[in-house]
Amino acid sequence: MTTDPYIGRLLSNRYQIVELVGKGAMGRVYQAEDVLLGGVIAVKFLSHALLNKKMRDRFKAEARTCAQLGQKTIHIVRVTDYGVDDEDIPFYVMEYLKGQSLSEIINAHPIPLLRFLSLSRQICLGLQVAHQGLKIDNRICPIIHRDIKPSNILVSQDASFGELVKILDFGIAKLIQEDSGQTNSFMGTLAYSSPEQMEGRELDARSDIYSLGVMMFEMLTGKIPLQAETHSFGAWYRAHHSQPPRSFSTANPSLKIPKALENLVMSCLEKSPQSRPQSISEVLRALEPLDQRYSASRDISARISGVLPKKLDFPETSDRTLPFVDEICRSITWPASKPVAQIVFAQKITTSKGAMPAIWVMLPQKEIQNLQVNRLYNKIYKNFLCAMQPHPMLLWITAVCSRVQGQDQGPRWMPCYLDLKTSYGEEMLRLLAEKGQYQVLLFALENPEPCAHTIAVGINASQCSQLKQWAITTHSLVSVGKPTFSKDLLKAELEKLKPKVSEELENDSYPPL
């Protein structure tokens, strides 16, 4: 097994290399730690095979380009430092991006229309800034990416922005300067290159627009619009110059998209640059009415996905049990499949009135006894937070606080996560919405059999309505990322929520339930 010589190295007495995270045409990218200021960053090294002056200059230009563009837009990867290591190999430092490439997302399944519009708009905004150019020698020089493709687009989750798109790899980007009249050799990716790019001609923004058209077609259908006979330069040259792009109905007969969007993508795929949109701004203007047309659906989704209530909601039903439920719960024992530990999980129970949603909680026996003895002073908070993307996930929150003089230890939090793309998660969500209440089953850590105490928690009408809406929405929603991503987002929101809820629960002026 070959050991990577970069792992563990300290660059510029500041950047500690941790692990290899990717390889590209021009080099290798590593995750690293900034030991001076703290935080995780990424370091890109130029490939050993490209250590000539021309490629060194190109690599340095890529770093400079991304550094300047990254200051102008959040949709282009931001470069923060450049240097040369002890072996005279150039590297640059950039933000560390955790997420999925657009190619990974497309390979999983075609992208739904609403998400397509959001991703496409962000890609266009990044390209618009690049095409507007940088000031070089007192001249504004537009920057053409020349390698727009799904693997060069990264989609990550941002705490404030939501789903955030970044354009990567400006390694073959070209500054268009007035005195640049030489013929260029071909550089790019065959399937996404414009006809004029394959001819080695000087390129402008319309070449990137052609590549964008290929990528947008693929985002919607899962297939590229052209198919070469072989994966050779000659075959792709003929395809881009003479083969008509396939129609959306041919690529995906079940796909239903607005005619205006189909026309936009096809116009980007025109063989002649003069027949395409002449700027990214034109593409953005064409996307805008589509955005507005579907904004109502997106607004509903945003409201559904909202994680913080405007007002803290405390249930009318508190520390009391329904007789028929209490009787059954007393005969329930801790599942053999679960560890005897302080955990929380959701599992329905069966009563004479049918299935009832419940969370099962194991606590120290003394804590349960305290809740039983002081039930008149207990306060209960419940809420539901939902993340629709990248994977539908519900956070079911219960917190109990006993406000007895001298016994206040703060709220006991009982968070429970439901994967809404599983039959189990769907059923629990439906039961919560239909029943309008749920049971908290408390088991003693020292003696799990039987259930030690039960608490009935009411769900108000507005929350039931919201739960029903989530059930409808998530049933047809397609997962676009790992469940753990959504779980992490919800965990972060819960941590933001805790201080405010704790203050309300522990406020002596708030009447006990």
Q: Is the pLDDT of residue 57 over 90?
A: no
Looking only at Cα atoms, what is the longest distance across the chain? 87
Selected residue with higher pLDDT from 262 and 510? 262
Instruction: Give CB contacts under 8 A, 24+ apart, made by 504-510.
Output: 504/312, 504/314, 504/381, 505/379, 505/381, 505/399, 505/401, 505/403, 505/411, 506/401, 506/403, 506/408, 506/410, 506/411, 508/403, 510/379
Residue 105 sits at the vertex; the CA angle it makes with 102 and 111, to the nearest 5 degrees, is 100
From the number of C-beta atoms within 10 Å of its C-beta (0-12, 13-18, 19+), residue 179 rates as: exposed
**Annotated catalytic residue: which of 81, 85, 88, 147?**
147
- Look at residue 208 and tell me whether its pLDDT is greater than 90: yes
Q: What is the pLDDT of residue 276?
A: 95
Give CA–CA dist 393/381, Å, rounded.
20
66 near 55, Cβ under 8 Å?
no
Average pLDDT over residues 61-82: 86
Residue 215 backbone dihedrals phi, psi, to 5 degrees: -70, -40
**pLDDT at position 473, please?**
77
pLDDT at 169 over 90: no
Determine the pLDDT at residue 318: 40
Q: Residue 185 pLDDT more than 80?
A: no
Question: 182 falls in which pLDDT band (50, 70, 90)?
Answer: very low
CB 295, CB 118: distance < 8 Å: no
pLDDT at 330 > cutoff 70: no
pLDDT at residue 315, rounded to an integer: 43
pLDDT-based confidence at residue 70 (cuts at 50, 70, 90): confident
Domains of the chain, earliest start first: 10-95 (3.30.200.20), 99-293 (1.10.510.10), 305-505 (no CATH)
How many CB atoms are located within 10 Å of the residue 398 CB? Answer: 22
CB proximity list for 8: less than 8 A, separation 6 or greater: 16, 17
Q: Which two tokens stand for residue 128?
A: 């618009």
**Euclidean distance between CA atoms 10 and 92, whole angstroms:** 14
pLDDT digits (tens, 9 = 90+) for 116-168: 998 999 999 999 999 988 877 777 888 888 889 998 899 987 755 678 899 98
> How confident is the model over 424-473, as pLDDT tens digits?
999 999 999 988 899 999 999 988 878 888 888 888 887 888 888 888 87
Cis previous bond, 450, omega within 30: yes
Q: Is the pTM of this model over 0.75?
A: no
Residues 373-406 pLDDT 10s: 776 667 888 899 988 878 889 999 999 887 654 4
Q: Is the pLDDT of residue 203 over 90?
A: no
Q: Specify the length of the chain in residues.
A: 513
Q: Which two tokens stand for residue 500?
A: 């405010």
Q: With 70 as the cut, is the pLDDT of residue 99 above it?
A: yes
Residue 10 in tokens: 């300290």
Beta carbons of 281 and 142 less than 8 angstroms apart: no
Predicted local distance difference test score (pLDDT) of residue 428: 92
Location of structure tokens 């004479």: 352
Each residue's pLDDT tens digit, 265-307: 999 999 999 999 999 999 999 998 887 666 544 444 444 444 4
**301: helix, coil or strand?**
helix
Helix axes 461-476, 423-435, angle to 10 degrees: 150
SS3 196: helix
Q: Angle CA(175)–CA(178)–CA(183) in degrees, nearest 5? A: 70
Q: Does position 500 have pLDDT exceeding 50, yes or no?
A: yes
Torsion angle in degrees (nearest 10) through CA of 197, 201, 204, 208: 0
Q: Which residue has the tokens 């919607």?
A: 220
Confidence of residue 206 (pLDDT cuts 50, 70, 90): very high
Q: Are the beta carbons of 450 and 330 closer than 8 angstroms?
A: yes
Q: Among this protein's residues, is 158 annotated catalytic?
A: no
Between residues 413 and 180, which one has the greater pLDDT? Answer: 413
Q: Compute the distance between CA of residue 457 and CA of residue 438 in angstroms, rounded to an integer.
A: 5
pLDDT band at 2 (very low <50, low <70, confident <90, very high): low
CA distance 440 to 447: 17
- The answer on pLDDT for 324 being more than 80 is no
User: Amino acid identity of 4?
Assistant: D
Q: Which residue has the tokens 């995270």?
A: 21
* Chain-centroid distance, C-alpha 168: 17
Q: Which of 4-8, 154-158, 172-176 has the lowest mean pLDDT?
A: 172-176
